[in-house]
Amino acid sequence: MAEESLKVTNFIRDIINEDIKNNKNNGNVVTRFPPEPNGYLHIGHAKSICLNFGLAEEYKGRCHLRFDDTNPVKEDVEYIESIKEDVKWLGFDWGEDLYFASDHFDRLYEFALELIKMGKAYVCSLSADQIREYRGTLTEPGKESPYRNRTIEENLDLFERMKAGEFNDGEHVLRAKIDMCSGNLSMRDPTLYRIRKVRHHRTGNKWCIYPMYDFTHCLSDSIEGVTHSICTLEFENNRPLYDWILDTLGMDCHPQQIEFARLNLSYTLMSKRKLLELVEEGHVTGWDDPRMPTISGLRRRGYTPEAIRDFCGRIGVAKRDSMVDLSLLEHCIREDLNKRAPRVMAVLNPLKVVIINYPVDGVEEVDALNNPEDADAGKRKIPFTRELYIERDDFREDPPKKFFRLAPGREVRLKYAYYIKCEEVIKDKETGEVMEVRCTYDPETRGGWSEDGRKVKGTLHWVSADRSIESEVRLYDHLFTKEDPSDIAEGDDCRNYLNPDSLTVLRSCRVEPSLAGSLPGSRFQFERLGYFCVDPDSGENMPVFNRIVSLRDSWAKIEKKIKEG
């Protein structure tokens, strides 16, 4: 993977290098990516996937894919499949190391028993509300549960009966006996097991008690022989508990938890809960809507795994809360596609051009380079006829300064074809709208150059009027108008910042005939416009293209400056 050369070092690699130097873990590196199957993966997960699998690759270790499926109420097999697909699509392979936290339920139960026997865990019969009250606050210590000093025998009996289904949800929980006065709330006798009389998507009805994250995660890591358990910053407060459980049980394998800052991307959201809202409320068409920051959305939009991996390498890994500019992601996909996307001509907002000195039924084929960045990409033929379409933006009746496209009396190059000169403008008498531009062509400029060395200011893309294909093109913009839609005042709602123009559908676009029958997922550069990807919605005779990203547009900048004076 070429993009790996761009990787800079980071504090996690420093830690691992130090560990290897000290022969900790016999020099092995085992990481894991532990998604909960309760939603689709997004670009923030991609950061974690690239980190964990990337480290494993780099240090010749392994990275486990482990589904953290301890809460059957929220989880579903649908998500398991999508997560596997996304990880694979990103280019990573967990090999034999596919696990489910639920695979470890039996051993977890044994560990809980052990803790009880050590007097380090007890069955608490306080209600959820009471537990909250007893917990104290951020600044005040908590109070010990009246059930805290039940005998080991009583605890064993109660826990056994919890497992046997003798109690209802919420009647009892198993808690660790740690310190109700700890400044760290997660050490104030945290819940280890709760009763949930629901069917689990993998273990069926075998269990009616399910272990909590804190209990499950560290032990699963330990059971699987993970060496470096990398997670996001919000788990920093949980690390003492992670360590306490492993230490108290005397686990041989004690992975090191390391926290890094999660990815935030401007103009979008990374919260699974909020993304689910967008889907359920119909603000987007689904998890794979091309505007979504999900892996499936980016995939449908046309992003490549290479570009996403490159992005993840460039953003770095650190502990500082940060917000990465969307322009970096856009840069990565442009850079990737510039090298490999075939060039093609397409007109999004067609304006008819009639070449008045060209034969009425004349057709000829001009040669076009498939990719000037790739010598092996070859050439193709494009039909040229008397009636053509150019982009409406490429003609101005009254051109501003520095506009060097078509205008009355001006000569421009039609790429790969001829120089044409605008002779006449036909307008709608009522509206004044330009309906057609009549031009002459210079037969001596075939191929788009002139022997006399004459310079033309502009080169336009074009398409034959009757030898082009009608198509639909979907243009995308930021989902939100606010750079950080999660930064909202109380009472405000991120939905208030949804961008009404995040999707623009163009239905009368014309694309060159070579695009007929393009397969969904194929990517192209539409010359002078941007990179586009064939959407699965495409019909037999109506291809649909998603704009992945526009080309950089320095004319747009100039024009903006002119307008601003």
Q: Go through the chain and tell me how many residues it has.
A: 565
Asked if 83 and 41 touch (Cβ cutoff 8 Å), the reply is yes
According to DSSP, the β-strands at 191-195 and 346-347 are unpaired
Could you tell me the smallest distance in angstroms from the CB atom of residue 379 to RNA?
12
Q: Which of 36, 57, 277, 364 is catalytic?
A: 36
Q: Which of 13, 262, 352, 396 is catalytic?
A: 262
Vertex 309 angle, CA 306 and 313, to 5°: 135
Q: Which stretch binds RNA (CB under 7 A): 56-64, 121-129, 275-283, 284-292?
A: 121-129
Establish if 5 lies at the interface with RNA (CB under 7 A).
no
Distance CA 23, CA 151 (A): 43
Q: Which of 272, 301, 410, 523 is catalytic?
A: 272
Asked if 170 and 122 touch (Cβ cutoff 8 Å), the reply is no
Q: How many residues bind RNA (CB under 7 A)?
A: 92
Vertex 11 angle, CA 5 and 13, to 5°: 55
Q: Which is nearer to RNA, 170 or 362 (CB)?
A: 170
Could you tell me the smallest distance in angstroms from the CB atom of residue 263 to RNA?
9
| Window 253-272: residues binding RNA (CB under 7 A) | 261, 266
Q: Which is nearer to RNA, 424 or 553 (CB)?
A: 553
Establish if 218 lies at the interface with RNA (CB under 7 A).
no
> Would you give the binding string for RNA spanning residues 475-514, x where CB under 7 A is met?
----------------------------------------
What 3-state DSSP class applies to 390?
strand
Q: Which is nearer to RNA, 335 or 501 (CB)?
A: 335
| Window 348-387: residues binding RNA (CB under 7 A) | 371-373
- Let me know if 7 is a catalytic residue: no
According to DSSP, the β-strands at 503-511 and 523-526 are unpaired
Which position among 201, 413, 510, 547 is part of the footprint of RNA (CB under 7 A)? 413
| Window 43-102: residues binding RNA (CB under 7 A) | 68, 70-71, 73-74
Establish if 553 lies at the interface with RNA (CB under 7 A).
yes
What letters, b where the CB count within 10 A reaches 16 and e where it falls short, cover 154-178?
ebeebbeebbeeebeeeebbbbbbb
Establish if 465 lies at the interface with RNA (CB under 7 A).
no
Q: Which is nearer to RNA, 76 or 236 (CB)?
A: 236
Residue 514: CA count within 13 A, CB half-sphere: 20
Could you tell me the smallest distance in angstroms from the CB atom of residue 233 to RNA?
6
- Let me know if 472 is a catalytic residue: no
Which position among 177, 194, 299, 380 is part of the footprint of RNA (CB under 7 A)? 194
**Interacting residues of 460 by C-beta distance below 8 A, sequence separation 6+:** 390, 391, 394, 405, 406, 412, 413, 414, 415, 528
Q: Which stretch binds RNA (CB under 7 A): 39-47, 218-226, 326-334, 422-430?
A: 326-334
Helices (H), ranges, 236-360: 239-248, 272-280, 295-301, 305-315, 326-340
Establish if 325 lies at the interface with RNA (CB under 7 A).
yes
Which position among 100, 122, 395, 416 is part of the footprint of RNA (CB under 7 A)? 416
What 3-state DSSP class applies to 317?
coil
- Let me know if 36 is a catalytic residue: yes
Which position among 24, 84, 120, 135 is part of the footprint of RNA (CB under 7 A)? 135
Could you tell me the smallest distance in angstroms from the CB atom of residue 36 to RNA?
4
Distance CA 239, CA 489 (A): 31
Angle between helices 11-21 and 43-58 (to 10 degrees): 20
Establish if 402 lies at the interface with RNA (CB under 7 A).
yes
Could you tell me the smallest distance in angstroms from the CB atom of residue 458 to RNA?
6
Q: Which is nearer to RNA, 60 or 320 (CB)?
A: 320
Vertex 425 angle, CA 423 and 428, to 5°: 165
Establish if 126 lies at the interface with RNA (CB under 7 A).
yes
- Please identify every residue annotated as catalytic: 36, 262, 272
